[in-house]
A = this chain, B = another copy of it.
């Protein structure tokens, strides 16, 4: 009996970027799927392991150009890891062919085509799909995800910021009149695999800089997500941190009234005490503890009229590929931790 016969066939579109690579790493540990199709326009025809030597000996797949029909013929579940604007049309084809899709780009994260145009600078070509897409912050939207055919995987910054904030919003303790301040430091893999001046090793090693202060595209994504519970003004400061992986997010959350450390901890506990991928820590999380793992570690500190929330995720795992697989598990009605239960890499 060929065990792979029973497994679900999965495709990774855009396999040679960091998100695609991470999907392939994690999927190789998943007991219920087999990757049948990997695409790359640039390297079509070449072995996957030539572009991703760490997969040598683990995968014999060949890269191919992305043809939605060909993919639909050979895979039942598709992870889209293309740049924004490139996903919207092929996703339409894949859904029409009856496939389930998790899109890791920004193309289906907004509910409004007008907002998409404003933020990403060009009109959405599949506005009808925006309503069908479910925002894939798994711990928050689990139920809708379980019924979805198209999940818009959240951005890395929104994941690190929203998970700590949500319980307080829903508990009704956040002051809507004052700014929620999000100070979020990202490893360089978050900038993608294409070399740029800002990510050239000597420019950023031993350095640190903020970028797109007040204008980052993940800010309206966070704002949209929060506004579904309670609208708040938002300040968002992203940084490039000289590490490969990780997003370390500090959120200064304005409270209606001061709350005790105990009360703040209880709110997190009530919300996440049973979540397999959220770990509540006493003190501050550390990026070192989530490297390569699907965890979101959260600490909270009482500070007068504020709760200081600190979260650590691996931007490529919980902030991208790991959460995408977690969403697949939910969409397929599999145990949510399937293929994701290995601890991270320390040190």
Chain A residues at the B interface, C-beta cutoff of 8 Å: 18, 21, 24-25, 28-29, 52-58, 178-179, 181, 183, 185, 187-189, 193-197, 199-211, 213-214, 233, 235, 237, 239, 241-246, 248, 250, 252, 276-277, 279, 281, 283-293, 295, 297, 299, 301, 303-306, 308, 310, 312, 341-347
Copies of this protein chain in the complex? 4
Please state if A201 and B29 are interface contacts (CB–CB under 8 Å). no
Kindly list 16 other residue pairs between chains A and B, CB separation below 8 angstroms, not including A187-B202, A201-B242, A206-B287. Answer: A25-B342, A28-B343, A54-B290, A56-B281, A179-B303, A179-B306, A193-B200, A203-B288, A205-B243, A207-B246, A208-B241, A209-B287, A213-B283, A213-B308, A291-B345, A345-B345
Query: When chains A and B are docked, how far (Å) is the Cα of A347 from the Cα of B204?
Result: 9
What are 13 of the A-B contact pairs (CB < 8 Å)? A18-B347, A52-B346, A53-B281, A54-B345, A189-B347, A193-B203, A195-B197, A206-B347, A210-B284, A210-B299, A213-B301, A235-B308, A291-B345
Q: A58-B341, A342-B28 are in contact. Are A205 and B201 (CB under 8 A)?
A: yes
Please state if A54 and B188 are interface contacts (CB–CB under 8 Å). no
Query: When chains A and B are docked, how far (Å) is the Cα of A246 from the Cα of B209?
Result: 11
Please state if A204 and B207 are interface contacts (CB–CB under 8 Å). no
Please state if A288 and B54 are interface contacts (CB–CB under 8 Å). yes
Please state if B188 and A304 are interface contacts (CB–CB under 8 Å). no
Chain B nearest CB: distance from A159 CB in Å?
17
Please state if B54 and A293 are interface contacts (CB–CB under 8 Å). yes
Chain B nearest CB: distance from A15 CB in Å?
13
Among candidates B21, B276, B291, residue contacting A206 with C-beta atoms closer than 8 Å: B291
Which chain B residues lie closer than 8 Å to A308 at the CB level? Answer: 213-214, 235, 237
Among candidates B207, B248, B286, B297, residue contacting A286 with C-beta atoms closer than 8 Å: B207
Q: A178-B178, A343-B58 are in contact. Are A288 and B204 (CB under 8 A)?
A: yes
Q: A242-B242, A304-B179, A305-B179 are in contact. Are A206 and B209 (CB under 8 A)?
A: no
Query: When chains A and B are docked, how far (Å) is the Cα of A237 from the Cα of B245?
Result: 22
User: Which residue of the partner chain B has the closest CB to A276?
Assistant: B57
Which chain B residues lie closer than 8 Å to A183 at the CB level? Answer: 183, 250
The 5 closest A-B pairs by CB, nearest first: A202-B347, A207-B288, A210-B284, A195-B195, A209-B286
Chain B nearest CB: distance from A152 CB in Å?
25
Among candidates B29, B196, B205, B299, residue contacting A342 with C-beta atoms closer than 8 Å: B29
Which chain B residues lie closer than 8 Å to A21 at the CB level? Answer: 346
Query: When chains A and B are docked, how far (Å) is the Cα of A18 from the Cα of B54?
Result: 22
Q: A205-B244, A244-B347 are in contact. Are A235 and B304 (CB under 8 A)?
A: yes
Chain B nearest CB: distance from A200 CB in Å?
4
Query: When chains A and B are docked, how far (Å) is the Cα of A176 from the Cα of B208?
Result: 30
Please state if B235 and A306 are interface contacts (CB–CB under 8 Å). yes
Chain B nearest CB: distance from A342 CB in Å?
5
Please state if A208 and B246 are interface contacts (CB–CB under 8 Å). yes
Q: A237-B250, A342-B28, A343-B58 are in contact. Are A214 and B303 (CB under 8 A)?
A: yes
Which chain B residues lie closer than 8 Å to A342 at the CB level? Answer: 25, 28-29, 58, 342
Please state if A310 and B210 are interface contacts (CB–CB under 8 Å). yes
